[in-house]
Amino acid sequence: FYIVHQDEDDLLSFEGFHELHSSHWKIEQYHRVIKQVCHIEKFQVRRSKLILNHIFFSLDGLRRDTKKPV
């Protein structure tokens, strides 16, 4: 989100801004992986426990794939 107005006393330092931006970018990358690599949007389950299981095993599979030596 963007800040439209902020008091002078509450302005972020450059380091604070950089840390906030880095956190934001990590979240964006996580969502990209969920959608593009794990194909979460294509799963066919409807119950919440099954949805959570599917997400968990998709991410676990990705984690295992990224740990394989090249």
Please, what is the Cα angle at 40 between 43 and 53, to 5 degrees?
Answer: 70
Whether residue 54 contacts residue 45, with contact meaning beta carbons closer than 8 Å, is answered with yes
Query: What pLDDT sits at residue 7?
Result: 63
| Each residue's pLDDT expressed in tens, for the chain with a length of 70 residues | 566 655 665 677 888 888 888 888 988 988 888 788 777 777 777 788 888 888 888 888 878 877 766 5
Task: Report which DSSP code applies to 67.
Answer: T
C-alpha pair distances (Å), 64 with each of 37, 43, 53, 68: 13, 20, 16, 7
Hey, where are the domains in the chain?
A: 34-70
pTM above 0.75, yes or no: no
